């Protein structure tokens, strides 16, 4: 009898606990809903609590979403919270709102993320109709994402149309999904995208062609040799072939080393420098005897990469604390202020070179605040200045920014005497904390003058150097470590005139900001 009583008590407890828990949870949800309706910019704190609660939050949040008396902001954050919970209960209310043309486009677009991954084949025709009538490219991309699991045929049609009509992030995402839906056509799609004007899409195609196991080199090499293939496309092809794991395309890279276009022969030199020494050195020594001064110089650079150099020298040329990867916009602004880049005015459409730019982190940071610029990111150290490293930095900061950058980023590797930048192209050339590393400043700056447009500006930002410390580094590494007075004198003697000078007293290094133009 005692045993039966104990079992009865346990059973009653087990039966009552969910009821008590449900009431307590319901009270918690009701309280959160009251706060949620008046939530400001910190709404995500409440959203996290709803997400942790899960299914019991769904119906109350749907009521908020459907309540047209609520502000658009409140309904919008309700949709985003429901998207993260991703409950099947949310499907029909989200569909109803999506189909309601009287609702705002922004709210209809917001509910799409909660529908992705669900089988909505019963409304695929209606989804396709919304895709066709919409003009907003991001809304169309989200509708295509819903069609992925509802009607793959219509999804491919949607992505194909987006690929042909959009640019940047949306074009890139369309390509990714087209390949996923029809992997057997990936080679065709990537080779087509390699020729796109849109750099984000072309970069995706380059990375994919480097990594894919389904690679047919003949097709891409024929594209390289085709008459009329633009310089930028030939450069992309040489980059892909130089990064492929086979790395056995010696003849193509030797041919590209003779290409008159600087992007192409610069990339070919990098690719050759990564090949096995015994494959390349003999060819480079032969080219050194060619009598073509440009080819001799390029071959000499490749040979120089095989000569054992001090890794310490390169290490010292990089920032002591590494290149920053910051997720806080205020910290990003602080870095730009610290480097005095905030003193420079950038205008849409300008072409800018940063000499000694490392991995382009400053250009990525500047892209938070400036649009439609072309940055040439130049450095002697190909270990940090290369398309892959720059894309990694740009992708990181784009994610922090929450939207794609509209700027273009081009990696260029130079030598101690030549930047390898094109002539008469640049509106601005920046040299930030780099002048002291020049081994022959006058030769280097004289060459740099040819890169500027006639009305272009040359910015040199550098602290004044300690004379005794400068002597030690000059002896050990060959760097000039010139004082600011000497820098100004050298630059003027190279055909420039000083048009502005200031000093940043908020920076511990007290850097000078010097602006020059051609005489």
Q: What string of pLDDT tens digits covers the 519 residues of the chain?
A: 434 333 333 333 333 334 445 777 788 888 899 999 988 777 888 989 999 999 999 999 999 999 999 999 999 999 999 999 989 999 999 999 999 999 999 999 999 999 999 999 999 999 999 999 999 999 999 999 999 999 999 999 999 999 999 988 899 999 999 999 999 888 889 999 999 888 888 888 998 998 888 778 888 999 999 999 999 999 999 999 988 887 678 999 999 999 988 889 888 988 898 888 878 888 888 888 888 888 888 888 888 777 644 344 444 445 544 577 888 888 999 899 888 998 899 999 999 999 999 889 999 999 999 999 999 999 988 878 889 889 989 999 998 998 889 999 999 998 888 899 999 999 999 999 888 888 888 889 999 999 999 999 999 998 876 555 555 556 556 677 677 877 888 899 899 999 888 888 777 778 889 999 998
The Cα–Cα gap between 177 and 211 comes to: 17
Indicate the CATH number of 216-308 among 2.60.40, 3.30.980, 1.25.10, 1.20.120: 1.25.10
Domain extents for the chain? 22-115, 216-308, 315-518
Closest CA to 429 of 380, 376, 373: 376
Residue with tokens 């918690």: 28
> Do residues 144 and 159 make contact, with C-beta atoms less than 8 angstroms apart?
yes
pLDDT on residue 273 = 86
Q: Do domains 22-115 and 216-308 have the same CATH topology?
A: yes
pLDDT on residue 405 = 92
Question: Hey, what CATH topology would domain 315-518 get?
Answer: Rossmann fold (3.40.50)
The Cα–Cα gap between 301 and 195 comes to: 29
pLDDT on residue 275 = 87
pLDDT on residue 240 = 92
pLDDT on residue 321 = 45
Closest CA to 169 of 190, 142, 192, 191: 142
pLDDT on residue 6 = 36
- Tell me which long-range contacts 192-197 makes (C-beta under 8 A, separation of at least 24): 194/220, 194/223, 194/233, 194/236, 194/237, 194/240, 195/223, 195/230, 195/233, 196/171, 197/167
> Do residues 360 and 409 make contact, with C-beta atoms less than 8 angstroms apart?
yes
pLDDT on residue 506 = 76
Q: Class of the 22-115 domain? A: mainly alpha
């Amino acid at each position: 009898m005692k045993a039966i009583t104990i079992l009865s008590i346990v059973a009653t407890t087990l039966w009552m606990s969910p009821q008590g828990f449900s009431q307590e949870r319901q009270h918690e949800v009701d309280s959160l809903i009251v706060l949620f309706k008046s939530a400001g910019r910190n709404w995500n704190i409440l959203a996290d609590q709803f997400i942790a609660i899960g299914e019991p939050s769904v119906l109350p949040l749907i009521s908020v979403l459907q309540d047209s008396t609520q502000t658009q902001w409140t309904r919008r954050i309700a949709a985003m919270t429901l998207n993260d919970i991703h409950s099947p209960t949310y499907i029909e209310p989200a569909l109803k709102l999506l189909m309601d043309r009287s609702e705002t486009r922004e709210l209809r677009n917001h509910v799409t993320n909660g529908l992705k991954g669900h089988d909505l084949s019963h409304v695929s025709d209606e989804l396709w109709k919304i895709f066709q009538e919409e003009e907003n490219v991001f809304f169309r991309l989200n509708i295509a994402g819903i069609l992925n699991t509802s009607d793959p045929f219509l999804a491919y049609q949607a992505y194909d149309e987006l690929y042909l009509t959009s640019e940047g992030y949306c074009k890139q995402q369309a390509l990714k999904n087209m390949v996923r839906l029809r992997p057997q056509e990936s080679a065709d799609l990537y080779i087509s995208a390699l020729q796109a004007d849109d750099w984000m899409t072309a970069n995706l195609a380059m990375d994919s062609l480097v990594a894919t196991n389904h690679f047919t080199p003949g097709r891409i090499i024929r594209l390289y040799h085709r008459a009329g293939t633009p310089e930028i496309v030939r450069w992309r092809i040489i980059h892909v072939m130089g990064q492929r794991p086979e790395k056995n395309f010696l003849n193509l890279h030797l041919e590209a080393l003779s290409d008159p276009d600087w992007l192409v022969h610069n990339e070919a030199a990098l690719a050759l420098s990564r090949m096995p020494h015994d494959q390349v050195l003999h060819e480079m020594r032969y080219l050194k005897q060619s009598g073509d001064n440009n080819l001799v110089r390029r071959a000499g650079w490749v040979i120089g990469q095989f000569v054992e150099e001090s890794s310490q020298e390169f290490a010292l040329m990089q920032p002591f604390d590494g290149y920053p990867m910051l997720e806080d916009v205020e910290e990003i602004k602080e870095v730009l202020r610290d480097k005095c880049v905030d003193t420079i005015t950038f205008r849409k459409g300008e072409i800018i070179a940063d000499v000694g730019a490392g991995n382009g982190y400053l250009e990525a940071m500047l892209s938070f605040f400036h649009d439609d610029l072309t940055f040439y990111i130049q450095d002697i150290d190909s270990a940090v200045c290369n398309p892959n490293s720059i894309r990694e930095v740009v992708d990181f900061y784009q994610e922090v920014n929450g939207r794609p950058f509209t700027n273009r980023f081009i990696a260029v590797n130079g030598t101690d005497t030549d930047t390898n930048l094109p002539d008469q192209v640049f509106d601005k050339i920046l040299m930030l904390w780099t002048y002291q590393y020049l081994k022959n400043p006058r030769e280097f700056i004289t060459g740099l003058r040819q890169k500027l447009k006639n009305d272009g500006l040359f910015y040199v930002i550098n602290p004044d150097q300690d004379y005794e410390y400068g002597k030690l580094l000059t002896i050990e590494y060959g760097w000039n470590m010139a004082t600011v007075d000497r820098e100004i004198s050298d630059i003027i003697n190279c055909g420039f005139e000083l048009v502005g000078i200031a000093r940043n007293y908020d920076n511990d290094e007290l850097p000078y900001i010097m602006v020059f133009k051609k005489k």
